[in-house]
Chains A and B, each alone.
Chain A
Amino acid sequence: MPKRIMFTMGDIACAEGAISAGCRYFGGYPITPATEIAEWMARRMPEVGGAYVQYEDEIASITSVIGASWTGTKAMTATSGPGVSLMMEAVGLAVMTETPLVLVNIMRGGPSTGQPTRGQQGDVMQAKWGSHGDYQIIALTPASVQEMFDETIRAFNLSERYRVPVFLLADETVGHMRERLVIPDEKDIKLEYRKLPTVDPSEYLPFKPDDDLVPPMALLGTKYQFYATGLTHDERGYPSDKEEVQIELITRLNNKILKNADKIVEVEEFMLDDAEIAVIAYGTPSRSAKRAIKDVRQEGIRAGLLRLKTVWPFPERHVVDLATKVKQIIVAEQNLGQIYYMVKAAASPTPVHLMTKPAGMPQLPQEIVQMIREVHSS
């Protein structure tokens, strides 16, 4: 497809991003404020030869996505808080069986049913810790309609490269805002695909990693036979209750993300060169923060923004570097403080101030201006 320009909403940009990324299987269940993704996929999947499948619940939706992924099909699901809670079981399964998939969470107010039509960033820690056990995932936080497209493609690429479920964590405002979207010519979109085994099938060990800690992935219906299980398994894929097998497996599952963090993490630095005060934000609040920073600079306050485009793995190195350059840090997030604790731990002893907003409207630019002024004068 040649380059196209649309004026559209974030949810639809996400669906288009998935299609451009090669997604040909969508398993889902309607939920506000992510329904537009399902509706768009229901129309578009048949056009591109893929499948839109609506399941009886979110558990089946994501589990079917795991099944589709093991056939070699790029697959995704999209939901919001209550659906993510149901999907957490399968997130663990996908982590354990190293299954590439993309899980879009258009974050709404929680806990429980919360405020379906209002945004929040309350699921940041859930994305990291929601399933049981020690594991790492990847979570991307787009802040515009264009990024809903671009970051969905990046989510697919990362999930394929590291064989891990990748969250696209977008707040409701980003999901529902309408902006200009440029869909590049397909030849300009860089796509990645999982490593397939090249050894003789008789020598194939399905969970033996390469140097990048990621094992090549055999697909169902090929000459490679394998057993994939949520049980702790050795390199053959066979279940084991041995302590050393558990340690080796979960250490590798964690390290394949943590040791590759520099290749995964993306941030945007905005007016940070001479900044004394840094705002750290992601998603919609980061847009307010940009406006606020321009405003306070008019007053002579040297402020800047570190916008997190990736929240997991946490951009620790960026925050540590930042903390050595600025005097104070403000974390503005649309919750009562989640990524704040990660920033605080990384930035210590540089003071970190939390600016919360656990409700539908993100921090307004003038509210962030006020916060920067207060921190500046303290």
Chain B
Amino acid sequence: MTESVPVLKHPMAKYIREDRQPWIYCSGCSVGIVTGMVARAIDNLGIDFSKVVVVSGIGCTGRTSGYFKTGTYYTTHGRAIAFAEGVKIANPELEVIVVSGDGDIAAIGGNHLIHACRRNIDMTIVCVNNFNYGMTGGQFGPTTEHLRYTQTSPPPIGNVEHSFNLVKLAASSGATFVARWTAVHVRRATKSIEKGIEKKGLSFIEIVGACPTAYGRMNRLGDGVAMHRHLLEVADIQNGLPPHEAELDYETRIVCGEFVDVEKPEYTAVLREAYKKLRG
């Protein structure tokens, strides 16, 4: 009689397309951790997974949508939010989650981000900020800090530009739930993603992550473990802090927490109410 060997299965595997393994992510990357956060948030809420739509744009984080075993769409660069808006407005019953990177969401898709926040359409945007364009080999982007090195901001000058603070950007654009965590704050970040999903409005959750392969190497920030350890060390949890004080300085202090949680009429709800009145 042969003894069957028990195969350990990851508890979140039920949400994942296992036939697409292995992951595309480099070792030490944060995107896989964030994928886990999103899966756990969905699991904790116990929502009907078939009604969840995961959308992303181009980039390393953009590949996330393809791993989820539900209706998923990988848009052109920067357009995840625009696609998601069409989905949500056309079928408000769906739970729409956008998972994409800082370059995709804040550079080429920056216009869509601010206007989606302004409209307050019910969706959850999880933005992994790893400070550079990883997929193309590490170029500076809208979140790269001043004077940091990348393949297109090489030594000795470094990045001539200044970075966006995504929490401030989303909050001032009108998002009704805004949070920031790092990739090591798995439980807290997962909780915020859950709140974001439950929130009837636009939720923006930034996850500060590590890209040891490109950004870490160019700036001598160490390997994946060292970078994640650093994120834990410099994180300063300040729940409820006004969003305009949510500073992010990679070297010294990354303010984390939930900064905005306000109520504002949500786009599809306003439409639904207006139609009800119209029909008497």
A225 at the interface (CB under 8 A from B): yes
Question: With A56-B115, A223-B50 in contact, is A25–B86 under 8 Å at CB?
Answer: yes
Asked whether A89 lies within 8 Å of B76 as measured between CB atoms, the reply is yes
Of A43-51, A162-170, A188-196, A290-298, the one touching chain B = A43-51
Residue among A55, A59, A71 making CB contact with B91, cutoff 8 Å:
A71
User: B218-231 CB contact bits vs A (8 Å, 1 = yes)?
Assistant: 00000000000000
Asked whether B278 lies within 8 Å of A46 as measured between CB atoms, the reply is yes
Question: With A53-B85, A73-B90, A230-B76 in contact, is A225–B69 under 8 Å at CB?
Answer: yes
Asked whether B83 lies within 8 Å of A221 as measured between CB atoms, the reply is no
A70 at the interface (CB under 8 A from B): yes
Asked whether A231 lies within 8 Å of B86 as measured between CB atoms, the reply is no
Question: With A53-B85, A59-B82, A221-B51 in contact, is A229–B69 under 8 Å at CB?
Answer: no
B154 at the interface (CB under 8 A from A): no
Q: Please give 18 more A-B residue pairs, beta carbons under 8 A apart, in addition to A67-B87, A222-B50.
A: A60-B85, A60-B115, A63-B79, A64-B85, A66-B83, A67-B55, A67-B83, A70-B71, A71-B91, A71-B94, A97-B73, A221-B51, A224-B71, A225-B70, A225-B71, A225-B72, A227-B72, A228-B72
A163 to B88, CA, bound (A): 21
User: A190-234 CB contact bits vs B (8 Å, 1 = yes)?
Assistant: 000000000000000000000000000011111111111111000
Residue among B55, B79, B87, B88 making CB contact with A60, cutoff 8 Å:
B79
B115 / chain A contacts, CB cutoff of 8 Å: 55-56, 60
A137 at the interface (CB under 8 A from B): no
Asked whether A231 lies within 8 Å of B74 as measured between CB atoms, the reply is yes
A57 at the interface (CB under 8 A from B): yes
Question: With A55-B115, A225-B50 in contact, is A63–B89 under 8 Å at CB?
Answer: no
What interface size band does chain B fall in?
35 or more
Question: With A64-B89, A67-B84 in contact, is A59–B79 under 8 Å at CB?
Answer: yes
Asked whether B66 lies within 8 Å of A73 as measured between CB atoms, the reply is no
Asked whether B71 lies within 8 Å of A220 as measured between CB atoms, the reply is yes
Question: With A64-B83, A228-B74, A230-B74 in contact, is A53–B50 under 8 Å at CB?
Answer: no
Chosen A-B contacts, 22 in total, with CB atoms closer than 8 Å, are A55-B85, A59-B112, A60-B81, A60-B82, A60-B85, A60-B112, A66-B86, A67-B82, A67-B90, A72-B91, A75-B90, A89-B76, A93-B75, A93-B79, A218-B71, A220-B53, A220-B87, A220-B94, A221-B53, A224-B71, A227-B66, A239-B66
List the 9 closest A-B pairs by CB distance, nearest first: A67-B86, A64-B86, A68-B90, A229-B74, A60-B82, A220-B71, A63-B82, A67-B83, A71-B91
Residue among B76, B91, B274, B278 making CB contact with A93, cutoff 8 Å:
B76
B10 at the interface (CB under 8 A from A): no
Question: With A68-B90, A90-B76 in contact, is A226–B71 under 8 Å at CB?
Answer: yes
Asked whether B82 lies within 8 Å of A222 as measured between CB atoms, the reply is no
Asked whether B66 lies within 8 Å of A64 as measured between CB atoms, the reply is no
Asked whether A68 lies within 8 Å of B82 as measured between CB atoms, the reply is no
Question: With A60-B112, A227-B65 in contact, is A71–B73 under 8 Å at CB?
Answer: no
A55 to B267, CA, bound (A): 13
Asked whether B71 lies within 8 Å of A221 as measured between CB atoms, the reply is yes
User: B257-280 CB contact bits vs A (8 Å, 1 = yes)?
Assistant: 000000000000001001100100
